[in-house]
């Protein structure tokens, strides 16, 4: 599997030739791999939504735009599991396919939530605002996350508020955990709720076959299910709360 140079902390990154070049935006642990799973962290949920319970909109935000990135492989794996879960309508938002300016506006959205955004961001804005829950997929570059992901976060404010957010990380030795912990602090400032469990792929380049197939999916699939359970519990609760009593915390 070809690799690209990356920081010592993060390890090499697999080439885009693994799997296909991009995720394709739109609907779609514990163990040896590592995870933040904790037993009994969230109430058990069936893996299908009752007929009278609408599915939650889950946005999978792919944070890497780096040439030769491995992110599409991990994103496809997670999005397929989320679709199979049955409780979510899954939409992949790949920042590499979005016209996202890195230069932020002079007035931040925390000050003016209705600030005008560039016209080319209209579809991205709609998709982020429509989500009931998010999974942020991040690599780890020099003990942190990509600038592209920070820009995507900072262009919005109220869109994140009172919604649950989970994480899938990958890198060298740490599996993206250092990037995930920084992201928790940022989303807390934006009034989002980050769930406890996450999925981590340390030395991911040893865990996937050349065609992008996970060699041993048992641990990661278990961790992903724990993450989805928590996202659904919080997502359903906060969806109802936002509609019955709109969140006012961002007004202060």
Q: Cα–Cα distance between 228 and 135 in angstroms, integer?
A: 9
Q: Quote the pLDDT of residue 156.
A: 96
- Outline where the chain has alpha helix (H): 71-85, 122-130, 147-154, 177-189, 218-244
- Per-residue pLDDT at 223 exceeds 90: yes
Model confidence at 232, pLDDT cuts 50, 70, 90, reads: very high
- Per-residue pLDDT at 136 exceeds 70: yes
Q: Quote the pLDDT of residue 248.
A: 85
What is the tens place of the pLDDT at every residue in 191-207?
Answer: 999 999 999 999 999 99
Average pLDDT of the chain, as a whole number: 85
Model confidence at 105, pLDDT cuts 50, 70, 90, reads: confident
- Per-residue pLDDT at 10 exceeds 50: no
- Per-residue pLDDT at 49 exceeds 90: no
Q: Cα–Cα distance between 21 and 130 in angstroms, integer?
A: 26
**Would you state the structure tokens that stand for residue 213, as one six-digit string?**
């197939």
The pLDDT > 70 percentage for the chain reads 79
Tokens 């409780």 identify what position?
87
Q: Where are the domains of the chain?
A: 3-45+53-244
Of 81-85, 101-105, 226-230, where does mean pLDDT reach its minimum? 101-105
Which 8-state DSSP code applies to residue 214?
A: B
- Per-residue pLDDT at 2 exceeds 50: no
Q: Cα–Cα distance between 140 and 131 in angstroms, integer?
A: 25
Residues 97-105, mean pLDDT to the nearest whole number:
92
The yes or no reply on domain 3-45+53-244 and CATH 3.40.50.360 is yes
Q: Which residues does residue 59 pair with via DSSP β-bridges, in sequence order? A: 91, 134
What are the angstrom distances between the C-alpha of 23 and each of 26, 31, 131, 150, 213? 9, 27, 18, 20, 15
The pLDDT > 90 percentage for the chain reads 71
What is the tens place of the pLDDT at every residue in 14-41?
Answer: 333 343 455 655 654 333 344 454 333 4
* Count of residues in the chain: 252
Q: Quote the pLDDT of residue 149.
A: 98
Q: Quote the pLDDT of residue 24.
A: 59
């Amino acid at each position: 599997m070809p690799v690209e140079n990356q920081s010592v902390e993060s390890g090499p990154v697999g080439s885009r030739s693994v799997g296909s070049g991009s995720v394709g935006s739109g609907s779609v642990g514990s163990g040896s791999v590592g995870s933040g799973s904790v037993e009994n962290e969230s109430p058990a949920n069936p893996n299908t939504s009752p007929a009278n319970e609408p599915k939650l909109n889950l946005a999978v935000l792919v944070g890497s735009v780096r040439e030769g990135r491995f992110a599409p492989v991990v994103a496809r794996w997670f999005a397929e599991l989320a679709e199979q879960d049955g409780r979510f309508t899954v939409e992949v938002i790949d920042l590499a396919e979005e016209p996202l300016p890195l230069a932020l506006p002079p007035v931040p959205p925390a000050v003016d939530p209705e600030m005008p955004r560039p016209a080319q961001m209209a579809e991205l804005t709609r998709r982020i605002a429509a989500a009931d829950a998010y999974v942020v997929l991040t690599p780890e570059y020099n003990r942190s996350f990509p600038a592209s992901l920070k820009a995507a976060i900072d262009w919005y404010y109220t869109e994140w508020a009172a919604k649950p957010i989970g994480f899938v990380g990958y890198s060298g030795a740490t599996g993206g955990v250092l990037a995930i912990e920084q992201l928790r602090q940022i989303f807390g400032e934006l009034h989002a709720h980050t769930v406890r469990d996450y999925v981590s792929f340390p030395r991911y380049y040893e865990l996937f076959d050349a065609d992008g197939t996970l060699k041993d999916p048992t641990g990661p699939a278990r961790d992903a299910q724990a993450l989805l359970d928590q996202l659904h519990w919080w997502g359903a609760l906060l969806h109802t709360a936002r509609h019955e009593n709109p969140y006012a915390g961002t007004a202060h």
